[in-house]
Every structure is written in structure tokens, then in C-alpha cells.
Amino acid sequence: MDAMNMKQLIKKNIIDFSELVLNNYYKLGLDETDAIIIIKLHKLLKRNITFIHPKKLSKMLSITSQTTNKRLDKLMDKGFIKIELIKSPSGKETESFNLDLIIEKIIKKDFEEKTQESLSQEENIQGKLVDLFETEFRKPLSPLDIQVISKWLQEDKYTYEQIKDALFQASKANKLSINYVDAILLRTNKDDDETYNRTTLLKDLKKIWTE
């Protein structure tokens, strides 16, 4: 989900901003006080209170106005909050807190976490395949062999099961080499494409016939 869609869902109260912040603040290096300040500012913005003096804001918190001021400065320095000029309905310019940056940072962090999780899963699958190949080949794999396995997963998008099946086919044929396994995978992929094309063609013909 991109930032624009997230903002729209928050605006429509489909996503709860407070819950979003509470579930993610610690991932961004913020503490509970920072999270409460951001949530309070968002609630004020919903009431069309676009700006509030730190002294007045501190009365809604359990910290002094001096600490509130320092916290706000820190949040702005780190790019979580920014103050911008907006025009009121009367045309007068006034200051306003903008909290869009925190939404963007949460989305970015979520993307990074999912990417890292995906890489970790891929590394785990690769490790299992290397162990499997070394067991079947009864010898350690060369760095080049490991690179080929990595390519199968990352570029060719073969699944663990496809590679494992190809390895066992090569083992039954007593052709214990990466190149032979690669040839089996290529042939399997080609056969799958041809089967898909034939099935699609038959469906199209049937559709034309029934029409």
C-alpha cells in the first residue's frame, strides 16, 4: 500500500491512526511519549486545530512545556513532523502540523521488514537445497554450483519442490551434476508452458464453439 492510499483510509476512519502509530512507533526508534504526542496532534488536526503552542499541548500530557517543546523539535529534526503554511477558508495563512511523514516512514519500514523477511526465507530455502544437493552428490558444492542454485530461486523463480524433484530425477538417472539438474528444470518449465498453451487453446476453441 502506498502513502496516498493509506492517508485516504485514515481519513475515512478505515485505518485507525492511533493504532497504526502504537503498533509501529518502536520500530521507528520512537518511545511512548513521542507516540502520544503524535497521536494528540492528529486528534487536534481532526478537530481542525492545526497548530498548538507547546505549553498548551503539555497540559494534555504528563510532561512539562519545556520537555514538550524539546520533544517537538526532536520529532521535526528527525523528519516525523513538519510545520507548513496553509490557507484558511478566509484566505489567511496559518501554521499547521503535517503528520504525513510518519505515515510514509511506517510504510517504508513495513516494506523493508517484508523484504528482509523474504530474503531470510529465500536464504533458508537456499541453505536447505545446498544441504540436499551435498547429501545426494556426496561432496561439498562449489561456489559456482551454489550461485546456480541462487539463480534458480531468485531469477528463474523455481520453487523448492521443483528443484528437489529435478535433483531426485538426476539422482535416479545417476547424473549427479548441477548442469543435468538445470537441464531437467528447463525441460520441465518448457513442458509446463506447452501444457498451459494447449489448455488455453482448448478453452478458447470451446468458447468460440459455444458462442
Task: Tell me the domain boundaries of the chain.
Answer: 3-105, 141-210
**C-alpha torsion angle, residues 203, 207, 208, 211 (rounded to 10):** 170
CATH fold match for the domains 3-105 and 141-210:
yes
Check residue 185 and give its pLDDT.
93
The amino acid sitting at 108 is K
Which residues 6+ apart lie within 8 Å of 126 measured at CB? 146, 149, 150, 153
**How do residues 37-64 score in pLDDT, each as one tens digit?**
999 999 998 888 888 888 889 988 889 9
10 Å Cβ neighbour count for 106?
19
Average confidence (pLDDT) per 10 residues, the chain, 211 residues: 77 87 92 93 89 88 91 92 81 84 89 81 90 93 92 90 93 92 86 49 49 47
10 Å Cβ neighbour count for 177?
11
Return the CATH superfamily for domain 141-210: DnaD domain-like (1.10.10.630)
Grid cell at residue 62: 504528563
Under a CB-based contact definition with an 8 Å cutoff, are residues 93 and 86 in contact? yes
CATH 1.10.10.10 fits 3-105, yes or no: yes
Element (H, E) at 95: strand 93-98
Grid cell at residue 121: 526465507
Q: 3-class DSSP state for residue 157? A: coil
